[in-house]
Structure formats: structure tokens, C-alpha cells
Amino acid sequence: MMVWAAAILLALAGLALIVRRHDMAKAQSLVAGGRLGAGCAVVEGALLLLMALAVVVMNRYGLFD
């Protein structure tokens, strides 16, 4: 149950980064200084989606038992 919750949380965070990419890029620019493009937020969101998929696959093959 906890593995599925983690996968769902990662997927939601990834989708939120992709959907709100312009706001996230602006916020990251304020924190990091300089200017970051919206593509950075999309890549981060895609990586979170891949991590969610990896969690599901690893759970399927019994790595979290």
C-alpha cells in the first residue's frame, strides 16, 4: 500500500511540474538566481513520472517485499 502511495505521489508531483511549468520555472529562477527556462521544469516532471513508473515496476518484481 505504501509503495502505491509513493508512486501516486511521484506521478502527481511530476504532472504538477509539467502543467505549471512556467510558474515553476519562475520560482526556480528566483531561488537559484539567473534565468531558467520552462523546459527544465518539464524535464524534472518527466523524471518524476519515470521514477513513479520505476517504483511500480520494482514493486511488481518483488523488490520491496
For the segment 32-50, what is each residue's pLDDT rounded down to a tens digit? 776 667 777 888 899 999 9
**Residue 53 maps to a domain:** yes
Question: Within a domain: residue 38?
Answer: yes
CA-nearest of 6, 1, 3 to 48 is 6
Flag whether 65 is in a domain. no
pLDDT score for 53: 96
User: Per-residue pLDDT for 20 more than 80?
Assistant: yes
Residue 47 counted as domain residue: yes
Domains: count for the chain: 1
Segments forming the whole domain that contains residue 44: 2-60
Provide, rounded to the nearest whole percent, the portion of the chain with pLDDT above 70.
95
Asked whether residue 46 is domain-assigned, the answer is: yes
Share of the chain above pLDDT 90, in %: 52
**Rounded to an integer, what distance in angstroms lies between the CA atom of residue 56 and that of residue 65?**
13
